[in-house]
Amino acid sequence: MRNFRLMVKEQTPLYIFVAVLFLVGVVFGALIVSALTMDQQQELGDYLGNFFATVDQQGLPAAPESFWSIATLNLKWIGLIWILGLSVIGLPGILILDFLKGVLIGFTVGCLVSQYSWHGLLFALVSVAPHNLVLIPVLLVCSAAAIAFSLLMIRSRVLGQRRTTVTRPFAMYTLLSFLMALLILGVSCFETWVTPSMMRWVTPMLVVIGS
């Protein structure tokens, strides 16, 4: 536990860096929405309208199917970040993933707000925000740990600092990623069983607006 606290303290600048990168991605994703043409906005509005109508009439897929789909997608992010952290050339890939995650969230929220105003914001608060309040910090923690280990690999393999041992840092890095993966499963449970109920509560208002 002491080693983990020390690792977190040492990686604080990396946490700030990846958080800022993620926020830049969110802003960029929101700006993309405003850059869409009228035809693209119309197509997007039709797609969202059909989606909300389907959710309102038919509900969402069965929970077990949704859980494994959601959990697999989230775990792929963690696994990919872990793999990129093991290689010297994986550092840019980690940064791209953090930025891309921010873009996806910014674009999603931006689309909802642009099409449905405060009703869209309300839907984003119940469908996008709750699980991401845990998921995003998990991804940022994993990213910071991956960047730190990748930098350690660079010092050890590329710069020739042979005194730099990687065995213990690798074990801690892998253990941290495993613990974050377990937390992801809990987040996926929330997203599977709780989020749909919250979405069904807001969806009728959006269907009325879109009709």
| pLDDT by residue, tens only, the chain of 211 residues | 666 677 777 788 999 999 999 999 999 999 999 898 889 888 988 888 888 888 777 766 667 778 888 999 999 999 999 999 998 788 899 999 999 999 999 999 999 999 888 888 999 999 899 999 999 999 999 999 999 999 888 877 666 555 567 788 898 899 999 999 999 999 999 988 888 888 888 888 777 665 5
Residue 209: the pLDDT is 66
Count of CA atoms in the C-beta half-sphere (13 A) of 84: 21
* Cβ–Cβ under 8 Å, residues 70 and 188: yes
Number of domains the chain is built from: 1
Could you tell me which of 193, 204, 149, 194 has the C-alpha nearest to residue 171? 149
Cα 188-31-41 angle, rounded to 5 deg = 85
Residue 166: the pLDDT is 78
Could you tell me which of 113, 132, 137 has the C-alpha nearest to residue 123? 113
Count of CA atoms in the C-beta half-sphere (13 A) of 147: 23
**Is residue 117 left, alpha or beta, with left meaning phi > 0 and alpha meaning psi from -120 to 50?**
left
Q: Which domain, by its residues, includes 50?
A: 2-210
Residue 59: the pLDDT is 67
